[in-house]
């Protein structure tokens, strides 16, 4: 995908951001195409999670600006970042996605429940909807979190290492779903260490120590020289 062919779904423009007194991102500029999957790649501490948090509106930039679609972004964290002992079922986990941005006293409508059902089925969870989150495997919990994000029906889907340490069926289900969602017009951005996943993306942003080392087609960005630079 050439820059001239990119239809921007979201962008960071000279963004510097971090936490307390620690700056993590340094004047980062990157485009995340609409209707495409972007892989955000880099070593631990390179700023991938911070970039996702800035795109999600969770972390406010100290400098620069952020472009994103109108409305809320859906952010999917890693399954081990969610307390496994939460006393909720798979269905309740996914239905929580329909509560985003609405008055807390308002009950879910028939439409809301239908959307949640479709997302459950899409992620292969329809046979375990009554199971407790605590009873699920890591892959099942991760699929439930992805389904919860899809239930929000946003135009910007952000995921932090969505397939890390999962079994093959869970990885394949999530990867296939991200491709389908992007093909429907959603801007999908996922942080990953998996170079196979990154090379399957449409677009790639490679970070090194909080700066953009390279951006563009995965086959160009993920060259041997760039990867050596990124991890050293």
pLDDT in tens, 192-226: 989 999 999 999 999 999 999 999 999 999 999 99
What CA–CA distance (Å, rounded) separates 125 from 131?
10
Give strand pairing partners of 37: 188
Query: Do the beta carbons of residue 160 and residue 52 sit within 8 Å?
Result: yes
Burial class (CB within 10 angstroms; exposed 0-12, middle 13-18, buried 19+) of 161: buried
* Cβ-proximal residues to 214 (8 Å cutoff; 6+ apart), any chain: 204, 205, 206, 220, 221, 223, 226
What does the angle CA 154 – CA 73 – CA 7 come to, to the nearest 5 degrees? 75
User: Where residue 173 falls among pLDDT bands split at 50, 70, 90?
Assistant: very high
Residue pLDDT, tens place only, 92-104: 999 999 987 666 6
Whether residue 4 has pLDDT greater than 50: no
Section 51-65 average pLDDT: 96
**What's residue 84's pLDDT?**
64
Residue pLDDT, tens place only, 100-145: 766 666 788 999 999 999 999 999 999 999 999 888 888 898 999 9
CB atoms within 10 A of CB 24: 22
Which domains does the chain possess? Answer: 1-73+155-232 (3.40.50.300), 83-153 (no CATH)
Radius of gyration (C-alpha) of the chain in whole angstroms:
17
């Amino acid at each position: 995908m050439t820059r001239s062919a990119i239809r921007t779904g979201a962008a960071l423009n000279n963004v510097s951001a971090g936490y307390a007194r620690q700056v993590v991102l340094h004047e980062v500029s990157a485009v995340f195409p609409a209707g495409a999957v972007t892989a955000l790649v880099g070593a631990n501490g390179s700023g991938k999670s911070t970039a996702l948090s800035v795109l999600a509106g969770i972390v406010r930039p100290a400098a620069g600006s952020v472009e994103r679609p109108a409305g809320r972004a859906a952010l999917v964290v890693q399954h081990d970042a969610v307390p496994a002992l939460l006393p909720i079922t798979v269905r309740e986990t996914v239905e929580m996605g329909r509560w985003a941005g609405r008055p807390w006293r308002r009950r879910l409508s028939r439409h809301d429940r239908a959307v949640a059902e479709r997302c459950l089925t899409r992620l292969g969870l329809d046979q375990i909807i009554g199971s407790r989150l605590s009873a699920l495997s890591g892959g099942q919990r991760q699929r439930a979190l992805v389904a919860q994000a899809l239930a929000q029906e946003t135009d910007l889907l952000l995921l932090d290492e969505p397939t890390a340490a999962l079994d093959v069926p869970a990885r394949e289900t999530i990867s296939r779903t991200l491709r389908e969602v992007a093909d429907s017009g959603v801007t999908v951005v996922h942080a990953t260490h998996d170079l196979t996943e990154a090379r399957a993306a449409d677009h790639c942003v490679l970070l090194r120590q909080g700066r953009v080392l390279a951006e563009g087609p995965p086959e160009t960005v993920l060259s041997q020289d760039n990867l050596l630079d990124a991890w050293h």
